Amino acid sequence: MGAFEDVARAVLDGNRYVVLGTADGEGRPWVSPVFYTLSGYRELIWMSSPGARHSRNLAERPEVSLVVYDSSLPVGEPDAVYMAGVAAEVTGSAVAAVAAAYGDAALPKGGRRVKIDEVTGDGVYRMYRATVREHWVLDPDSRPDGRASVTL
């Protein structure tokens, strides 16, 4: 395991919010910070209103970009993980397991458990999951764009 992978894992484990980049059917971009939990390093889970703009965008276009970063670091010393993948609402029999996993992981981060009736039926929220295809970290020595691919 390399230093870049160590940085990426530390950033993903140590932060609460991911900036979720979505686009609507016309390609208009939108970014939203959402509280997330991990299910391994290739899956991020969150709870959102299906009426939120990012949720509506996901219903039209599942491709996402994501970034998790430590904003408490001094200027010029950012630790960040950039990601690309696909995301969607969790449906059917998977909802209960994903909601339980989210709640278990949310507690140590200051979050809370999810009641199943909050994310099903007439509940105001739904569970969402992003499957990450690629991870990068910043590396000024990497060319041409200053980022290094990492495998998690």
pLDDT in the model for residue 70: 85
Per-residue pLDDT at 63: 98
Q: In which residue ranges of the chain is pLDDT below 50?
A: none
Cβ partners under 8 Å of residue 54, min gap 6? 20, 22, 30, 32, 34, 48
| Residue range of the domain that includes 31 | 3-150
pLDDT at 78 (0 to 100): 66
What would the pLDDT profile of 54-94 be if each residue is shown by its tens digit? 999 999 999 999 999 988 887 776 689 999 999 999 999 99
Determine the pLDDT at residue 47. 97
This prediction's pTM: 0.93
Place of tokens 């909802």: 95
Domain count, the chain: 1
Residue 77: the pLDDT is 67
Rounded CA gap, 82 and 67, in Å?
4
Tell me, what's the pLDDT at 75? 78
Residue 74 is predicted with a pLDDT of 78
| H or E segment to which residue 5 belongs | helix 3-14
Provide the CATH number for the domain around residue 57.
Answer: 2.30.110.10
